[in-house]
A and B are shown apart, each in its own frame.
Chain A
């Protein structure tokens, strides 16, 4: 019994959960589960689910583990998405690389790398700020990224890649056209690759958290002053968490972008950042497994409950407020502690 409990609270259970869910989906896709047929719309949701899981887990690294509220996560996703799309088109044009899996992997790596560079550039100024200011500046950067993307044009001409600012007349095949975005992409993302990215993300985040670097990151979250007093380089570890998070979001963006034939920068608005934040908050800030479950459910549910379409964001908003009130208000927690005495947490409120 104790062993089961320890297993369930450990990381192995998280991996097991993801692998089992993947295998079940594969069985259902190949029609091996009698009497169960996966609907077309649900099948279309498989890659987005993987994307949002990676987005939520990576944002949790910033918000839950590092303790900094980032409101510009969608910005990194968009940078990754368009870098991935351009990389894929360029590989096809320059090397006639037909193998879609290799192209997708290289595109995801490119998306992650470019988002990582963006993460470094943004992180240097942002991480000097704290709390609300940091949040608002990440929001500002997300909007700036979107604004700039609306002015950029990319084209591939053989093995050459052309970029211009506000000038649609480029030689060769124009793949990204400012406000119209990337049109007519070859969709090469697959569920299996999405699953691989989820596993990759879990390995990176969970292993990072349970290591010397991860402890330093969490120490800074709990008390920056104490962390400095024991010689922890605060900037370095904040940066590590922020950039890792950006890289993963960029990879998720590439996966997402290459799953759609048309992508515009407007898809990565502030709302998208908030959506990912809802996953993180609902799943439990700091809980990786919670993020996975919340991202999956909240991606699938709106498809299942189509008739609630109009109320979806409304429900999200209420959920966000109610979860925050329940988990953070002493009086409300006390009230429920009286009704559900066995569920009160032990020790957690000593401070």
Chain B
């Protein structure tokens, strides 16, 4: 039983990382109406930056996280401007292929800079572990910080979207880009802002992910990226609580699946969930139904 609870806690920890990544996916999908395939690789870049700043330059962990956030925000905005903005009117097929190209570009540039050899990422979290049931169950500091960060991000983002003018602009662009533009909302800068927020979150997620699962290589981000997209779809794309719910559920399903069903089939179980969700409820658990206009 205690075993089960510690799996559950691990699942919530992993799920919190997925939720943070899923948030970035979800916001970009909701506002720019595109699947930013390169989002997962921004996570990887963030982790590498934090790694370099703390290990090579020797700055404290917080500076590493800050540097990762800054670099990733700039990277996100640059990617959007260079690769996605010219394709606003293009078909979704064209945009998706471009995003896949961008994902590969980031992975391969990372491979040139940092080589393909996996790096051992030292945990940047110096938070004490929590020991329960007389030491039978241990909740690591990493898990605690991840869950805490997740809660803080969700709350502040919800406030930002609902209470600020920029948040309102974002919702406007997400509902109807053309109408928002006519109302004087600067669509381009709103989309840029979305990419900036999403990428900053990706940087944080990268640091948290690698603090828990310490293997860092150029392909580190792609699997969590795809799974986070799954989480975003699961919860209902475009919805902040949906990303939270989807991420947590997916993390728990993955850890429990690996523990009780089969280690090899862990990923297959996660993707199986995605397929079932899309078939049964294509708009996700908390998504809105959209009618196609004829």
Check A-B contact in the complex, CB < 8 A.
yes
Query: Taking A274-B104, A317-B102 as contacts, is the C-beta distance between A324 and B97 under 8 angstroms?
Result: yes
Q: Which of B61-81 contact A (CB under 8 A)?
A: none
- Cα–Cα, bound, A328→B85 (Å): 11
Are the C-beta atoms of B98 and A324 separated by less than 8 Å?
yes
- Cα–Cα, bound, A135→B93 (Å): 9
Residues of B within 8 A of A131 (CB): 92-93
Which of A95-103, A192-200, A247-255, A308-316 lies on the face that meets chain B?
Answer: A308-316
Residues of A within 8 A of B272 (CB): 140, 144
Q: Does A332 contact B (CB under 8 A)?
A: yes
- Cα–Cα, bound, A277→B102 (Å): 14
Are the C-beta atoms of A317 and B93 separated by less than 8 Å?
no
Query: Taking A144-B271, A317-B105, A320-B104 as contacts, is the C-beta distance between A150 and B96 under 8 angstroms?
Result: no
Are the C-beta atoms of A141 and B275 separated by less than 8 Å?
yes
The dominant DSSP class at the B interface is helix
Residues of A within 8 A of B89 (CB): 330
Q: Does B233 contact A (CB under 8 A)?
A: yes
Contact for A136 among B34, B90, B229, CB less than 8 A: B229
Residues of A within 8 A of B278 (CB): 125, 129, 133, 137
Q: Which of A258-302 contact B (CB under 8 A)?
A: 270, 274, 277, 281, 285
Are the C-beta atoms of B108 and A314 separated by less than 8 Å?
yes
Contact with A along B81-95 (1 / 0, CB 8 A): 001001101111110
Are the C-beta atoms of A331 and B86 separated by less than 8 Å?
yes
The dominant DSSP class at the A interface is helix
Number of interface residues of A (CB under 8 A): 48
Q: Does A225 contact B (CB under 8 A)?
A: yes
The smallest C-beta distance from A18 to any residue of chain B, in angstroms, reads 26
Q: Does A305 contact B (CB under 8 A)?
A: no
Q: Which of A301-351 contact B (CB under 8 A)?
A: 310-311, 313-314, 316-321, 324-325, 327-332
The smallest C-beta distance from B257 to any residue of chain A, in angstroms, reads 11
Q: Which of B93-148 contact A (CB under 8 A)?
A: 93-94, 96-98, 100-105, 107-109, 111-112
Residues of B within 8 A of A94 (CB): none
Q: Does A46 contact B (CB under 8 A)?
A: no
Are the C-beta atoms of B100 and A143 separated by less than 8 Å?
no
- Which A-B residue pairs are the 4 nearest by beta carbons? A320-B101, A329-B86, A140-B271, A317-B104
- Can you list 30 A-B pairs, Cβ within 8 angstroms, ordered by A? A63-B93, A67-B93, A69-B93, A69-B96, A125-B275, A129-B278, A129-B282, A132-B34, A132-B96, A136-B35, A141-B271, A144-B271, A144-B272, A166-B262, A166-B264, A274-B100, A313-B108, A317-B101, A317-B103, A317-B104, A321-B102, A321-B105, A324-B97, A324-B101, A325-B86, A325-B87, A328-B87, A328-B98, A329-B87, A332-B86
